[in-house]
Structure 1
Amino acid sequence: MASAQVLDAFSQILKTQGLAGGLAYLNEGVPHRYTAVYRFAGLVLKNVCLHDALGKRQPAFLSAMPLDKSLARRIKPGIPFRTNDSSRDPRLAGHAYEGTLFTVFSYHGTALVAPSGHLWGVLCHFDLAPVPLSDDAFELLESVAPIVAAFAVDPHR
């Protein structure tokens, strides 16, 4: 669990820089190209905010995707999903994007639960190449998820 000081600092970043600033902060400490918030919209996963460490425009294929083709579908409240290399992960044999140009190889995500208690979306680090994520970095992602969820779900932020 991240310290209260780290969580307070993260909350302040969200207040002053918005979700984009919060994702940029989280991405600074990981080797992944992307850090993002996605929300569940029926059978589609829609991007809410995405930070690209390379500073490039968001590729269209990351804007929205069918839920059944997303690694986020494996995430449930209290059940995160992590893989350093989806091409070698036996849990993902036969995944819909396996072998395509846009394969997400590294994916580390955790649930964003709305204040009402329903699964609203996911907070994740991911990359189009195999990239490991330390347990400490994933612990931080999980620790800030409730803060991100409250911020992202609240339309009056």
Structure 2
Amino acid sequence: MVNFADSLRELRSILVRQDIRAAVIFLNGLTEHRFTSLYQFDEETLHNICFFDRENPTQELTPDIPVMASYCVFVRNSCGTFTTPNSLLDDRVRDHPKQQAVQSYCGVPLLDEDSKMFGTICHFDFRPIAISNANVALMEAVAPLIRQIAYGTTNQ
């Protein structure tokens, strides 16, 4: 079980050292999800900024993909957190190109100083996996810190 206060304190410490990848790896370690990633929107393209695959930890990035080919589209369209613990049972993702392959996802928006969404931080996996409310809350709490460190902004 995730201890929200302790985990947030640790994430703040990691981010103060300006090590985004270490923060992504730490977040991944709090879930059962294989992948954790930081993405940036560029029109209809999704650029990977930081990536962690616990089965292939040396891979740091993934190729650009169309926004519509990722569940990040649901975060972008709602400008809010989107989770699906089992895509095969989730009507919201019916007919999505990744429904069969990426069966669990939790994404949180990254907002700039003007509250405009520029990206997401997300966990995902090829198998169904539930994510705790504490983990979702932690991702939501760390999103402004990631913006601050990764993009040099000062407001939280």
Pairwise TM-score range, normalised by the shorter structure: 0.7 to 0.9
Question: Partner amino acid for 1:112?
Answer: L
| In structure 2, distance between residues paired with 1:57 and 1:80 | 28
- Report what 2:50 is aligned to: 49
- Report what 2:65 is aligned to: 65
Question: Partner amino acid for 1:31?
Answer: E
| In structure 1, distance between residues paired with 2:99 and 2:56 | 26
- Report what 1:107 is aligned to: 105
Q: Percent identity?
A: 28
Of 112, 121, 124, which aligns to 2:119?
121
| In structure 2, distance between residues paired with 1:150 and 1:59 | 21
- Higher mean alpha-carbon deviation, 78-87 vs 20-29, is at 78-87
Of 137, 144, 147, which aligns to 2:145?
147
How many residues were matched structurally?
150
Residue ranges of structure 2 left out of the alignment (5+ in a row): none
Is 1:38–2:39 an aligned residue pair? yes
Give 1:6 deviation, angstroms: 4.2
| In structure 1, distance between residues paired with 2:143 and 2:105 | 16
Residue ranges of structure 1 left out of the alignment (5+ in a row): none
- Report what 2:96 is aligned to: 95
**CA-based RMSD:** 2.3
- Report what 2:81 is aligned to: 80
